[in-house]
Amino acid sequence: MSTTQTSKADGKLALSPEPQTSRDLVTLAPAFKRNEGIELTAQLFESVEVNLSAVIRRASTLTTRRSVKKQWQAAWLIKAIGIIDLTTLAGDDTPGRVKRLCAKAKNPLRTDLLEAIGLKPGSVTTGAICVYPTMVATAVDALKGTNIPVASVATGFPAGLTPLAQRLAEVKYAVAKGANEIDMVITRAHVLGGNWRALYDEVSAIRKACGEAHLKVILATGDLKTLTNVYKASMVSMMAGGDFIKTSTGMEGVNATLPVSLTMVRAIRDYHDATGLKVGFKPAGGVKTAKDALAWLILMKEELGRDWLEPELFRIGASSLLGDIERQIEHYVTGRYSASYRHAMG
């Protein structure tokens, strides 16, 4: 199904078939069976060694072999808005800040820009809001009446080094407050020590604590040292029932990069080939510009296919990305770049 097309008559963007909200794009997409996980199967990852040079070479071609311009770029950027997990994870977060962020999630583009490209007010929203557990109830209340899910980081974010019982309690607390999705962090020591059973058991326990809430497993790839570790951690996390695998907390020295992302999406592809189960992907940390968003959309389309362009299977964790996308949309409409302060953030 093509969700975005260009009207030849007036050059405006149109969604076909036209949904009432961007979340309706999810219901129009094929239904995906949730990843229930499988038994830990070392044969699927134990002998894998990732060729760093080959990964870097392949990743470098993603942004050089093609360019997306004019109305097609605007259409891709509208798609990008619908997969953003609009995030605030600051020590000075307040209910007021979360409410403002939720207001932005519901109306990420100014009405005049939506109308100029042929979209109705309310037809575009972000993919989700992501907050700390203590802010979940505030976000749920602010998003009442919408289909925008609330995601919450948990399990001792960002280090993940609190005792397992406390991490499980934190997950259950966030779910009880209304979180639809949990972004957990793994114990990096399990990966660095090659203790795959411990990693599997950890993710499995947290998956169980999530109940009906979907689980995104944060690998903190900047701490894992090698792409081989990234691949193996990805596979084990999916086997344990992760609905998404996610690159980073956004607080490591190195966060989302295209080579790391390519390694993870290849693991997703291999897992799907082995099990028939589809797992989502979320890059987070350092994805700040519209150009960045286009690169990751191209990665998903080329490596995994059209199904992975929907928010059920692809998210981008970001706080400043939306502002740059809105600037690019205004440039498409007016031919001029605006100052960033013209676009309200949460």
Active-site annotation, residues: 183, 246, 282
Residue corresponding to tokens 């790391």? 260
b (16+ CB within 10 A) / e for 210-246: beebbbbbbbbbbbbeebbbbbbbbbbbbbbbbbbbb
316-318 and 84-87 as β-strands: parallel, antiparallel, unpaired? Answer: parallel
How would you class 145 by CB atoms within 10 Å of its CB: exposed for 0-12, middle for 13-18, buried for 19 or more? Answer: exposed
Structure tokens of 245?
């695998």
Distance CA 169, CA 2 (A): 42
Secondary element (H or E) of residue 298: helix 290-303
Distance CA 10, CA 21 (A): 22
CB 321, CB 343: distance < 8 Å: no
The closest alpha carbon to 264, from 303, 316, 306, belongs to 303
Contacts of 51 (CB under 8 A, 6+ apart): none
Residue corresponding to tokens 């397992």? 164
Amino acid at 36: E
Q: Taking the CB of residue 152, how many other CB atoms lie within 10 A of it?
A: 29
Structure tokens of 308?
């992975």
DSSP-assigned letters across all residues of 16-55:
SSPPSSTTHHHHHSPP----------GGGTTT----HHHH
Amino acid at 247: T
